[in-house]
Structure 1
Amino acid sequence: MIDDAEPAVRHTAGRPFTYTSWLRSLSDQELAALFTARADLITPVPADIAGLAARATSRPAVVRVLDRLDRFSLQVLEGLLALGDDRASSAPHGTDRRTFSTALDAPAPALDAALDRLRGAALVWEDGGLLRPVTVLRDILTQPAGLGPPMRVLLAGRSADRLNRLAADLGLATGYEGGDPADRIAAAIARTGRLADLLAEVGDDARPVLDRLVWGPPHGTVSQADRDVDAASATSPIDRLLARGLLVATDDRTVTLPREVALHLRGGRLFREVEAEPPRPSGPERTATTVARTAAGQAFTVIRGIEELLESWAADPPGVLRNGGLGVRDLRRSAQALDSDEASTAVLVEAAHSAGLIAASGEVDGEWLPTADYDVWRAAEPARRWVRLAEAWLRSTRVAGLGGTKDARGRSRNVLGEGLDRRSAPEVRLDVLRALAAAPEATAPTGESVAAHLAWLRPRRQGPAFTTLVETALDEARVLGLTGRDALAPHARALLEETTGPRHDDGPAGFAADSAAAAELARSLPEPLDHFLVQGDLTAVAPGPLVPALARELALAADVESTGGATVYRFSADSVRRALDAGRGAGELTELLERHSTTPLPQPLRYLISDIARSHGRLRVGTASSYLRCDDPAVLEELLNDRRCADLMLFRLAPTVVAGRSTRPVLLDRLNDLGYHAVPEAVDGSVQLSRPEVRRAARRAPGELTEPEPPGPELRMAAVRALRAGDEAATAVRSPIAAPEAEPPRSPTAATLAALSSAAVDGRRVWIGYLDTEGRASSRIVEPARVDGGYLTAYDATRAAVHRFAVHRITGVAAVGPGGDPAGRPTGKPAG
């Protein structure tokens, strides 16, 4: 039995009320709310309520909850722990609501909300009219409210001679005939009037010593602290305090202020200052329009940058390092291609990886390639593409800002490699965005005000590692376009609201079905254009983002020269040849440019396209081993006389045909390298043109550090029913009911599954037929808890125990009447 602490004395009949009893008394809705706040309690589902109590009061589980409490909730919890310490006296443990409210001196609404949170997380439970924290907190929060241990604890290790001498100085009876002297001393000192008299006896010169310890820490360092002293021999202030029990030596160099004395000196208050509300982040004000436009522009830059990056990786993929990361040279080359710095490029790479847009093609000698999801992502609207990246970043445990730093062994951490995972990163990012959202709209909070807000929100997580995560979260939010001029953007506020609610995915690509963040961002993004301006210097200027199809066609025929508010493309012989190699005809390319250009097509560009098209495909490579065919014998004559082609061992077959001993792919690549730009030819003489090979990597599952999704309503209620059934089996008197004498029910498999699932949802008992491993049929009356993985978990009333049934061995299901007898004929639909 898990009682959490020694049972309090209850003036009720039966067993004492314990923590386990309190959990058992909660309603199903309250248990479900507990599982919402602490999902780890049902991973896996405990066998019964006693198992739940043991798990809820284990040190790791409690520490996990404490790390998520704000400063005021921690103050409330420490106050309850200080006033309701079961070691302070033999009185019933706990604190009543009125006494605690007076000692804390906090606003009633804030106190009620904090107590509700602590009760909902099962850190505080109610024993009659008393509030009791779980006992394990005593070992975790060793100095609650900055107070030392109670007097009874400090005197427990003292010798009998020391205790008797202290009792005599206090005018108390000595010896053990009247009980433990430590209890008598602690009870006497705890009396307010007695403490006032003792403080007057020690003198004013001893008061500064107490004032230094009263608000914590309660320990002070003194030479020869454990000295043998009494009231008659005391000369110094420390001696007088020790002789009257106002200070207690805990070792040779340390003295401790007892909890009762500190509370008296504080005037009954638990804290010098109670912080019921967090400090609001503040900073310079921006205009709302500027914030929205700046953030939207950066968001569009992110979308375009990732698309350009992955297109280049598809054509020339970087290799995977031994540690699974991206090489420093490849990261630097990618940053140069995007005209960005390496830190920002690392954020984009990690965001794309978290969104499943890139993956390694293999564990050994692999390459970083786009995945099939990238093609779906590229075809989506810009706003929805950004939302997918931002949501993946919020859920990811990867911290791109740690790339390039050293680990504990002195090895450098690589982007996409090991050592960048931090389990708390998703929660820190949400906290940072919430801190930015707590500031007035269009306000850019300073780093100091954000740090102060987070120090109140997560006081137990402060430290260098937490500070690093906060700083990187702010930097990454700026790079990804969640903030504009350091203020939270409107689409980021909408994304934050969506993230705290349930997720709704639309298809395997993971796009939100109805995203308010995407709609908000779409209003700030420029409308995609279907036109550009072709200039006489063989450049084309896109004054804004182009529609995806047109952008891909233009990028195929021209190279991006510069980006910014407008994108400049430059046409060249190589870029036009690239379009022709991809299967575009000269007329088709010219017609595309004329249709979408708002300016007349310059004559130099027309000449360039026609000249490249005229020479494109004149040489055709076939298989003899290989051959060359050209309608112009002079071109073949030039080729045969070219000394650079000597290694090809070419020879003439006809005036317009030359054969070679190398294979067709080798001959084709070699001629292209020499500048002849041959094209392949099919057996029927037609030109074979094909798109470049599209290489994709398989998307991989997220790492092990990813936090599990919180349980949904159905899973929570199923866990509650399983707990109730297990607790009933563990605590109730075992009185199995008789199995029905009729033949076991039979029903179709689909109907059986539907009936069992329905009974699990409704919490009703049903009659099932079951075949054991030897093929013997039996009848069971069961109360289903859940159906998953091909098994039914249910309370078997005919065996008075929780049992797992293989669904494929269940022959059928029938309804059960109120008395436990079969009601009617077997059916796949349980009776209502």
Structure 2
Amino acid sequence: MTENAAPDEHVPGGGSPAAPAPGRPPTFTSWLRSRSDGELAALLSARPDLAQPVPSDIGALAARATSRNAVLRVLERLDRFTLQVLEAVIALGDDRLSEPVGVQTVDLAGALGTLPLPGAADGGGASGSQGGAAEDGPAGDPLADALDTLLELALVWPDRGRLRPVQVLRDLIPHPAQLGPPARVLLAGLPHGAAARLARDLVPDSTAHTPVETVATLLADPGRVLGLIGQVGPQARRLLDGMAWGPPNGTVSDARREVTLAVASSPVETLIARALLLPSGDDTLTLPREAALALRSGLLFREVTTAPPPFEGTPNPGEAVTRAAAGQAFTVLRAIEELLERWSQEPAAVLRNGGLGVRDLRRAAQAMDTDETTAALFVEVAHAAGLLGADDRVEGEWLPTRAYDLWRETPPERRWLRLASAWLDSDRVASLNGSRDSGGRVRNVLGSGLVRPAAPQARRDLLGEMATAPPGFAPLPGSLASRLSWRRPRRQSPVYAELVEIAAAEAAALGLTGRGALAGHTRPLLEGEDDDAARVLAAEMPKPLDYVLVQGDLTAVAPGPLVTGLARDLALVADVESTGGATVYRFTEESVRRALDAGQGVADITALLERHSRTPLPQALRYLVSDVGRRHGRLRAGSASGYLRCDEPALLEELLGDRRAQDLGLFRLAPTVVASRSNRAALLERLRQLGYHPVPESGDGTMRLSRPEARRSDPADVPPPPGGSFRDMARAAVRAVRAGDEASNAARTPIPLPEDGPPGSRNAAVLEALTRAAKDGRRVWIGYTDTDGRQVSRIVEPSSVDGGFLTAYDATRASVHRFAVHRVNAVAELDGPEPGGGNGVPGGDRRGAAGPH
């Protein structure tokens, strides 16, 4: 019996049945159909891959929920105990075992060694179409919670008071609890003569129809199996005991030998003759599931752990952890902003493989005042957040994107949240930078070799497990590894362990953890509560300052982060000398000239510093600004090949006599004009090196002053954030699935359409039927071929038919659409009353503007 049977079962009135139609056995599809909208929404929220794209109806949802890949994905999220419960359902609820099919919760509790669920003696909560197998259990009952989880994930389903696993689990977990297949499966693989001999030897007076059923029925009785075991000798018993807890297979020569009770001599032959070992291959003997359960005294596992091992580690004050993480978060923001500001002026080159060169990474680490491993992480996170991208030139460069300018203007906590969210969802692992791939090629930052699809889940597994510890508790790495091994047993591998270890280091470097514990602002971030995360982080993040402390040694100290405008203006007039808890800026001739070149005057610079300095401006700084300002612009460079113009002939005389300027090839054209063989750009650069502070001028003699060009790349290809919560999208998907299921299963009477006739006669009949339905205000069912070529069912309320198009309210999509009439391949009248009465429009008139379908 397959789960997807009966996809077209009749539902009177188009509603959702509470139970299968009378006389028909329940199916996985009918159980899904009987689930409430809230339960289906919970399923789609827990398994979002089932709603991408939205299934057309319940049958399609059931097929997708039981597909191999979909079930494999959800199995990886089960903890050890829930997986043991699932294996118990698979082992005891296998439909190849004796009737009835499925397992009762009381039998599960006994096989797992846990206390029986209240009311489980008669099937417990597994009875009923809603499948609350564990809902009757007490709060905090591990078995009840595990069954709730399995039912919510649609890995098991109730069938007349018993639980059954979805069919694909038989192939995905072929040896549940290290058990072999049921005896009926092994016996079916024997030649008829061999099965008949076993039946004659073991049950000579059987009335079963076949030898296979005779022996299978015998082995289904634990008491009779123990009787057979008691007949074998010590060596054979030791062999059985060695296979009882798995693996259930053993290798032996000539496993398919013909053995009877009369001729069995060796321990192996003794077991074969009693069907306690059955051949599953030419050289393989297998212990049947029923025999193993008898040997285990009905238990499935030697050890059942209902909770992960306790945490081991160091407690810390929660406020101190959050404060330390917030300080690191501020460091991340400062470092990334510093790098991107520098790359906007002097971008790094894009390698031929699309990555970042080793030298550029080393310079980036120096700019951010960190090591290369951390610099690689910051660069990758900036790229993942859409703040860094490559331009579209042939010889590309890494530049900030236009989104960076908007990001820089947002509050610090929101800037960090964007970076942290991008890291959580990114499948790139920056720490692999510098390693070699299987072909011996070195992996580069921003290159293609750093992709690890399992990285996002490893990060969320690690942080989610840390979130289960008390606030401020820093678990030891070994303790975390043990708990993750219990929490995600099917994910354990050397690769996964490496990703978890890397995630721990990267989370600390990004400020998601502090002192080895999860930060207070990370907990709401993991739950999707960005506003709460921002509020917690903002309380601990250093507040932006609008002042500096100017000192007598031509430096200014910013004791904390500066507001964006002041930071930008100060970076123009001074150079960053050191960073850390405080940032030190140094004023030099070059930095002051840079501000003057950007169009600021001496008075502007002095006013800026006086306005934002908490200390008086030292005389040395005033002299520096005045001296550079006095010399700035006295020489003006234009284009001939290049020329210099100055209102002070003495300065030109000084320049012509300067031996350092001989390479410029200067010669006088007039008392205030000197020409050069170099172009203007080279002339400006060389004279600035000599300390003359020239400025460029345009053709009309005016100075050309401007800020350095801020270059930007195109926005990075970052997926937009979802428009609503997963719950909202799941509820919308459930409505669409329900409507599609109604369209697929609604009782209807087909309207005859001509199969043979003049061209266009079929379309004419469709037009006539739809026009009549629009006139009468009746809903109809249509079979439709959509633009992708798929055959879909729709329940529509026609509004008008005009120009070869049907305008109608589509109940499946809960909106008005236009349908091309030539794509309608079937029309049917709906049986039963219209929902809502009248014209079938509950809540008012649905007619409105139509969109193309």
* Matched residue, 1:402: 432
- The yes-or-no answer on 1:72 pairing with 2:81 is yes
CA distance in structure 2 between the aligned counterparts of 1:777 and 1:156, rounded to whole angstroms: 59
CA distance in 2: counterparts of 1:728 and 1:742, whole angstroms:
19
| Map 1:739-818 → 2, pairs under 5 A | 739=770, 741=772, 766-771=797-802, 775-776=803-804, 783-787=811-815, 799-800=827-828, 818=838
Match 2:228 to one of 184, 191, 198 = 198
Aligned to 1:507: none
Structure 1 pair 199/32, CA: closer, same or farther in 2 (3 Å)? same
Higher mean alpha-carbon deviation, 485-494 vs 645-654, is at: 645-654
SS at match of 1:699: coil
1:337 aligns with 2:367: yes
Aligned equivalents of 2:678, 2:654: Cα separation in 1: 19
Q: 2: distance between equivalents of 1:131 and 1:186?
A: 22
- 1:735 aligns with one of 736, 746, 749: 749
Residue type at the aligned position of 1:74: L
CA distance in structure 2 between the partners assigned to 1:38 and 1:801 by the alignment:
36
Question: Which of residues 17, 34, 40 is equivalent to 2:43?
Answer: 34
- Counterpart Cα distance in 2 of 1:823 and 1:377: 45
Offset at 1:348? 0.7
Superimposed CA distance per residue, residues 29-67 of structure 1 (whole angstroms, 9 cap, x where no aligned partner): 333332222222232233333333222222112212212
The answer to whether residue 104 in structure 2 is matched with residue 96 in structure 1 is yes
The 1:682/1:441 distance shift into structure 2, 3 A limit, reads same
Distance apart, 1:441 and its partner CA: 1.8
Q: Show the 5 A alignment for 1:30-179.
A: 30-89=39-98, 91-106=99-114, 108=137, 109-172=141-204, 178-179=208-209
Q: Give the 3 Å change call, closer, same or farther, for CA 822–559 of structure 1 in structure 2.
A: closer
Instruction: Report Cα offsets for 1:769-804 as digits up to 9, x if no partner.
Output: 133xxx2576767535245998899x99992399xx
Amino acid at match of 1:818: G
Distance in 2 between the 1:223 and 1:779 partners?
74
Deviation at 1:447, TM superposition (A): 1.2
Counterpart amino acid of residue 570 in structure 1: R
> What SS is found at the alignment partner of 1:478?
helix
SS in 2 for 1:611: helix
Q: 1:554 aligns with which of 537, 561, 570?
A: 570
Structure 1 residue 692: deviation in Å?
A: 0.4
User: Are the aligned partners of 1:327 and 1:414 in contact in 2 as well (CA < 8 Å)?
Assistant: yes
- Among 444, 457, 478, the alignment partner of 2:508 is 478
Rounded to whole Å, the distance in 1 between the matches of 2:53 and 2:540 is 45
8 Å CA contact 2:816, 2:849 repeated in 1? no
Cα distance in 1 for partners of 2:648, 2:383 equals: 51
> Corresponding residue for 1:542?
558
Give CA-to-partner distance per residue, 1:190-230, whole Å, 9 cap, x none: 22221222121113343332222222221233455444443
The answer to whether the 8 Å contact 1:783/1:797 transfers is no
Residue deviations 1:406-446 (CA, integer Å, cap 9, x gap): 22322222111102223332222111111111112211111
Q: Kindly indicate whether residue 305 of structure 2 is the aligned counterpart of residue 291 of structure 1.
A: no
Does 413-422 or 159-168 show the bigger shift? 159-168
Distance, in Å, in 2 between the alignment partners of 1:797 and 1:227 is 61
Q: Is 1:720 aligned to 2:734, yes or no?
A: yes
Change (3 A) 1:729 1:434: closer
- What is the CA deviation profile of residues 749-779 of structure 1, one whole-angstrom value per residue up to 9, with x for unaligned ones? xxxxxxxxxxxxxx996441133xxx25767
Partner of 1:138: helix, strand, or coil? helix
CA contact (8 A) 1:322 1:364 kept: no
State whether residues 582 and 692 of structure 1, in contact with CA within 8 Å, keep that contact through their aligned partners in structure 2. yes
* 1:252 Cα deviation from its structure 2 partner: 4.6
Contact 2:809–2:847 (8 Å) recurs in 1: no
How many residues in Structure 1 have an aligned counterpart in Structure 2?
777
Aligned pairs for 1:199-598 (under 5 A) are 199-223=229-253, 225-362=255-392, 364-497=394-527, 499=528, 515-598=531-614
Aligned residues with identical type, % of pairs? 56
How many angstroms apart in 2 are the aligned matches of 1:788 and 1:402? 52
CA deviation after TM superposition for structure 1 residue 71, in Å = 1.8
Residue 460 of structure 1 and its aligned partner are, at CA, apart by 1.1
1:615 maps to 631
- CA distance in 2 between counterparts of 1:63 and 1:655 reads 86
- What is the aligned counterpart of 1:698 among 673, 689, 714? 714
| CA distance in structure 2 between the partners assigned to 1:76 and 1:708 by the alignment | 35
The range that moved more, 599-608 or 333-342, is 599-608
CA spacing shift, 1:6–1:373, aligned 2, 3 Å: closer
TM-score when normalising by structure 2? 0.83
Say whether the 8 Å CA contact 1:361–1:368 is kept in structure 2. Answer: yes
2:25 alignment counterpart? 16
* CA distance in structure 2 between the aligned counterparts of 1:44 and 1:171, rounded to whole angstroms: 55
Contact 2:637 2:643 in 1 (8 A): yes
Cα offset, 1:117, TM superposition: 2.2
Pairwise CA distance, 1:101 = 2.7
Letter in 2 for 1:51: A
**SS of corresponding position for 2:151:** helix
User: Alignment partner of 1:368: what SS?
Assistant: strand
Counterpart amino acid of residue 117 in structure 1: T
Q: Distance in 1 between matches of 2:845 and 2:508?
A: 66
8 Å contact from structure 1 (residues 35, 41) kept in 2 = yes
Q: Once the two structures are superposed, what CA deviation does each residue of 1:359-383 show, in whole Å capped at 9, x if it has no partner?
A: 1112641111111221122222222
* Preserved CA contact (<8 Å) 1:739 1:798: no
User: Relative to 1, partners in 2 of residues 1:711 and 1:597: Cα closer, same or farther, differing over 3 Å?
Assistant: closer
Deviates more, 1:343-352 or 1:274-283: 274-283
Q: Distance in 2 between matches of 1:191 and 1:690?
A: 93
Match of 2:652 among 636, 647, 653: 636
- What secondary structure sits across from 2:290 in the alignment? helix
- Alpha carbons of 1:11 and 1:338: their partners in 2 closer, same or farther (altered >3 Å)? closer
- What letter is aligned with 1:143? H
Secondary structure of the residue aligned to 1:250 is strand
Q: Distance in 1 between matches of 2:691 and 2:826?
A: 87
Structure 1 CA distance for aligned equivalents of residues 743 and 280 of structure 2: 49
In structure 1, give the amino acid aligned to 2:596: L
> Shift of residue 86 of structure 1?
1.4
Distance 1:789 1:742 in 2: 16
**Contact 1:650–1:658 under 8 Å retained in 2:** yes
Q: CA deviation at 1:558?
A: 2.0
Label 1:536 to 1:528 Cα distance change in 2 as closer, same or farther (>3 A): same
Q: Distance in 2 between matches of 1:409 and 1:707?
A: 36
**Corresponding letter in the other structure for 1:158:** L
| Structure 1 residue 600, shift from structure 2 partner | 3.1
Partners of 1:729 and 1:801 within 8 A in 2: no
Does the 8 Å CA contact 1:736/1:797 hold for their aligned counterparts? Answer: no
SS class of match (1:148): coil
CA contact (8 A) 1:214 1:265 kept: yes
Q: CA deviation at 1:385?
A: 1.5
> CA 1:353–1:641 in 2, change beyond 3 Å: closer, same or farther?
same
Query: What is residue 688 of structure 1 aligned with on the other side?
Result: 704
